[in-house]
Amino acid sequence: MNGIGRLDIKQLRVLSALLKLKNVSHVAQKMGLTQQAISEQLRKLRDLFDDRLFIRQGNTMLPTPKALTLELPINQILSQLDALFVPPQFSPQSYQGVFTISATDYAIAALLPQLLAITRREAPGLKLIIRDFASDNVNQLISAGELDLLISFVEFIPDNLVYDTLFEEQHICIAGAHAPTSSQPLSLSEVASRPQLVVSASRANLRGSHDRWFADKGYKRNIVMSVPGFSSVPDLLNTTDLIAFYPSRLLPNSKVKQLEIELLPPPFKVIAAWHPRSNNSDIHQWLIAQLKQI
């Protein structure tokens, strides 16, 4: 076995300490070892380097010329090894990299303009790729490393991912800007009977996220149209008699107005999710912190 294969880190630390302290008992005390253990390591080092390395003179260990030539490279090696366990200081300003986010059209409208403004100002070397949210294959994409972060709703996130709640959002009832205004809040019965548009991002069907809530109260919604995202809702309502439930953060919008109803559906969580392998990623933690501030 060659020399490097017989050398271990403890021997390097013993040699470095002996060169500094020049006393076996002092080295033993500093390293929490016995003098016998230090002497045994020194024996191995002498055999390894084919040199006495230290000559005893009273209580002092005098280094040989060979030992003195080893001092600088050994200290450099130990310093580099110690640096492996010191986490680097994360700086958004100096970060360079590409980060891929999969987001619903709601998240793109409600969060990403502000996030982009922050990253351009505070992390100019960060490049963002925004992808449409596709719930059917999101787990495969994030497991393969093709996605770094998801911004969506809890029900669309696979159980094996980690997520953090960014904020709670509230759906409110809206109609086109020219729809008649009622002097009294609409009852849930009236709301349920009106023709409605729903956003069905994960499946193309006539089902909405609040169907169960209405059903629990004894009402069936009159859903006549579904669309895959929120961006088209104001235009569609503005030209029809339809109503819809719409996230409050996407308002105001001149094409629609809020309808007062007797009871709003429960709020829902907007979350950021990631793969567990990224739990300690500085850029993930920084971006999520910015999203929570937004």
- Using the predicted structure, report yes or no on whether residue 3 has a pLDDT greater than 80: no
Query: What average pLDDT does the segment 268-276 reach?
Result: 96
Query: What average pLDDT does the segment 229-234 reach?
Result: 94
Q: How far is CA 220 from CA 113, 127, 194, 288, in A?
A: 37, 46, 11, 38
Task: Tell me what percent of the residues of the chain surpass a pLDDT of 90.
Answer: 82
The per-residue pLDDT for 4 is 67
Query: What average pLDDT does the segment 259-286 reach?
Result: 95
197, 243 contact by CB (below 8 A) = yes
Q: Mean of the per-residue pLDDT values for the chain?
A: 93
Reduced to 3 states (helix: H, G, I; strand: E, B; else coil), residue 103 is strand
Query: What average pLDDT does the segment 224-233 reach?
Result: 94
d(CA 214, CA 211): 5
110, 250 contact by CB (below 8 A) = yes
d(CA 135, CA 112): 19
Q: How do residues 51-88 score in pLDDT, each as one tens digit?
A: 999 999 988 999 999 999 999 999 999 999 988 887 77
Record the tokens describing residue 109, joined without a space.
């409208």
79: exposed, middle or buried (C-beta count within 10 Å: 0-12, 13-18, 19+)? exposed
- pTM strictly above 0.75: no
- Using the predicted structure, report yes or no on whether residue 1 has a pLDDT greater than 80: no
Q: How confident is the model at residue 5 (pLDDT cuts 50, 70, 90)?
A: low
d(CA 251, CA 78): 59
The per-residue pLDDT for 200 is 86
d(CA 46, CA 63): 12
Q: How do residues 90-134 score in pLDDT, each as one tens digit?
A: 999 999 999 999 999 999 999 999 999 999 999 999 999 999 887
Range 116-119, long-range pairs (CB < 8 A, 24+ positions) = 118/290, 118/294, 119/92, 119/287, 119/290
CB atoms within 10 A of CB 32: 7
CB atoms within 10 A of CB 206: 15
d(CA 79, CA 168): 48
d(CA 225, CA 81): 63
User: Which of 8, 1, 81, 2 lies closest to 44, judged by CA?
Assistant: 8
